[in-house]
C-alpha cells in the first residue's frame, strides 16, 4: 500500500468473510443483499490517516471491519472535541447519508484499519426498498442519539475515572458495535486519544475500574465485567486500592 494513494484508489471488493461480518447484511432479502454486495467496497487506512473530513460531501455509508477510528470535530477556537471511538463492526454517518449533506465531523484511523462502504445511492435504495434495513437504521439512529447525549455529558465530567468508564461503556454498545462482544482490543494511548487524558492518567483510571470489578485488563485489551457499572460511573477515590501490577506490566500498553 502506497501512502501517496487515496483511500478511494486503494478500494477493492470485499471478501466473503468481510461481507458475512457486516451486521445488517443478514437482515436483507436475497435480491436486496445482491444489490448491496455488488456495490460494496473495502479500503485500508493507515494510522493517523483521515477517512473523512468535516465539510466533505458524503458519497459512501461507511463501516469499520478492522482497526479503530476516532470521530471528532474542531471548534472555532481550534480545539478538538472527540465525540466517540468506532470499534470493529460499527457503521456510522447514516444521518449524513439520509440528508445527503456534508460531514460535520472528522473520522481518523487510530491504527491500521479496514473500512467498508456502500455508495449513498445504494444506501438510499435500501431505505426505499428494505424493511429489514430500515429497522436497522432506526435502531442505529436511536442509539446514536443516546450516544451523543452521553458524549456531551462526558465532556463536562471532571472526574477522570468516570470519564474513562463512560467512554469505555460507549465502545461496548452492543447495538452500535455488535462485533466487540466482551473484549475490546485497544491500547492505553488509543484510549487516551479518545478520552482526552494523558496515558498515565488513563492507566490510573483503568486500575480503579479493575479494582471495582468493572473491567479486567488483558494483554492488548480490556474485558468488560460489569457494563452497567461503567455506564453509571459510580467510582470514588476512597475505594481505590494499589495499582495492580498487571496494568503496568502485563496489561494494555
Kindly give the residue spans of alpha helices, DSSP state H, lying in the chain. 16-20, 30-39, 94-99, 120-129, 131-155, 160-171, 188-195, 199-211, 227-232, 245
Tell me the pTM: 0.81
Is 24 part of a structural domain of the chain?
yes
Distance, in Å, from the CA atom of 93 to the CA atom of 58, rounded to the nearest integer, reads 9
Containing structural domain, residue 191: 158-250
Q: Which DSSP state fits 6?
A: -
Query: Which domain CATH number covers 91?
Result: 2.60.120.10
pLDDT of the residue at 127: 96
Residues 150 and 48 in one domain: yes
Q: Which DSSP state fits 115?
A: E
Residues 121 and 88 in one domain: yes
Q: What is the pLDDT of residues 34-46, one digit of tens each?
A: 999 999 999 999 9
Residues 138 and 36 in one domain: yes
Q: What is the pLDDT of residues 88-103, one digit of tens each?
A: 999 999 999 999 999 9
- Kindly report the average pLDDT of the chain as a whole number: 86
- pLDDT(14) > 90: yes
Q: What is the pLDDT of residues 127-151, one digit of tens each?
A: 999 999 999 999 999 888 877 776 6
- Phi, psi (5° rounding) for residue 154? -60, -40
Is 6 part of a structural domain of the chain?
no
Residues 93 and 189 in one domain: no
Q: What is the pLDDT of residues 196-251, one digit of tens each?
A: 889 999 999 999 999 999 999 988 889 999 998 998 887 654 444 444 443 443 45
Distance, in Å, from the CA atom of 221 to the CA atom of 223, rounded to the nearest integer, reads 7
Q: What is the pLDDT of residues 164-194, one digit of tens each?
A: 998 898 898 888 998 888 889 999 999 999 8
Residues 227 and 175 in one domain: yes
Amino acid at each position: 500500500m502506497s501512502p501517496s494513494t487515496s483511500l478511494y484508489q486503494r478500494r477493492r471488493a470485499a471478501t466473503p468473510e468481510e461481507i458475512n461480518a457486516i451486521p445488517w447484511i443478514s437482515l436483507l432479502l436475497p435480491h436486496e443483499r445482491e444489490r448491496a454486495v455488488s456495490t460494496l467496497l473495502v479500503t485500508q487506512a493507515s494510522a493517523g490517516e483521515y477517512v473523512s473530513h468535516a465539510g466533505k460531501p458524503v458519497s459512501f455509508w461507511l463501516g469499520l471491519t478492522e482497526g479503530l477510528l476516532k470521530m471528532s470535530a474542531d471548534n472555532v477556537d481550534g480545539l478538538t472535541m472527540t465525540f466517540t471511538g468506532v470499534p470493529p463492526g460499527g457503521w456510522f454517518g447514516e444521518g449524513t447519508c439520509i440528508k445527503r449533506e456534508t460531514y460535520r465531523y472528522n473520522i481518523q484511523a487510530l491504527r491500521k484499519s479496514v473500512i467498508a462502504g456502500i455508495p449513498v445511492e445504494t444506501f438510499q435504495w435500501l431505505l426505499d426498498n428494505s424493511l429489514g434495513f430500515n429497522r436497522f437504521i432506526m435502531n442505529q439512529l436511536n442509539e446514536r442519539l443516546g450516544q451523543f447525549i452521553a458524549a456531551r455529558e462526558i465532556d463536562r465530567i471532571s472526574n477522570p475515572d468516570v470519564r474513562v468508564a463512560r467512554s469505555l461503556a460507549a465502545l461496548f454498545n452492543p447495538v452500535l458495535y455488535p462485533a466487540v462482544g466482551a473484549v475490546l482490543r485497544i491500547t492505553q494511548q488509543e484510549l487516551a486519544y479518545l478520552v482526552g487524558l494523558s496515558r498515565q492518567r488513563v492507566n490510573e483510571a483503568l486500575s480503579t475500574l479493575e479494582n471495582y470489578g468493572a473491567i479486567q485488563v488483558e494483554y492488548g485489551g480490556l474485558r468488560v465485567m460489569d457494563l452497567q457499572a461503567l455506564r453509571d460511573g459510580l467510582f470514588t477515590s476512597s475505594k481505590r486500592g494499589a495499582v495492580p501490577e498487571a496494568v503496568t506490566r502485563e496489561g494494555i500498553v
